[in-house]
């Protein structure tokens, strides 16, 4: 598996997904508390470490050949990745401004990027 494929499939490794979800919500909590530096550290450092570790030490063939791996390859694009990032940015800004409604809207954007392939054919 080449580096581009590893980069693609490490994004859906269970450890990576768990790390991203947990750190995103904790970072938003820290932003709600106006702890910008802590939130930035929590939002980026653990995910970077987990990503590098998975790419370096994990065989991702099983994930690549799974139904979820095939689904992810079908729906993935830089646009989807950008929209997911925008969703997190909405969550982050909303958390800083203590707006639960807009934070929920940002989370909904992220969920839609993961699920839109269920309703479309590519």
Domain ranges of the chain: 3-118
Minimum mean pLDDT range among 13-17, 57-61, 110-114, 117-121: 117-121
User: Residue 121's pLDDT band (boundaries 50, 70, 90)?
Assistant: confident
Three-state SS for 13-75 is CHHHHHHHHHHHHHHHHHHHCCCHHHHHHHHHHHHHHHHHHHHHHCCCHHHHHCHHHHHHHHH
Residue 104 pLDDT > 90: yes
Q: What is the pLDDT of residues 23-44, one digit of tens each?
A: 999 999 999 999 999 999 999 9
Provide the token pair at 68: 């979820």
Give the span between the Cα atoms of 107 and 122, in whole angstroms. 24
Q: Where residue 119 falls among pLDDT bands split at 50, 70, 90?
A: confident
**What pLDDT does residue 84 have?**
97
Average pLDDT of the residues in 5-14: 97
CB 23 within 8 A of CB 43: yes
pLDDT of residue 122: 61
- pLDDT attached to residue 29: 98
């Amino acid at each position: 598996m080449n580096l581009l494929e590893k980069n693609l499939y490490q994004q859906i490794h269970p450890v990576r997904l768990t790390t991203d979800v947990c750190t995103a919500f904790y970072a938003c909590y820290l932003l709600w508390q106006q702890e910008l530096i802590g939130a930035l550290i929590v939002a980026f450092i653990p995910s970077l470490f987990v990503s590098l570790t998975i790419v370096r030490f994990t065989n991702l063939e099983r994930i690549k050949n799974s139904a979820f791996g095939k689904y992810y390859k079908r729906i993935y694009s830089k646009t989807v990745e950008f929209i997911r990032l925008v969703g997190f940015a909405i969550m982050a800004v909303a958390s800083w401004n203590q707006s639960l409604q807009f934070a929920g809207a940002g989370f909904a954007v992220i969920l839609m990027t993961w699920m839109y392939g269920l309703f479309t054919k590519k």
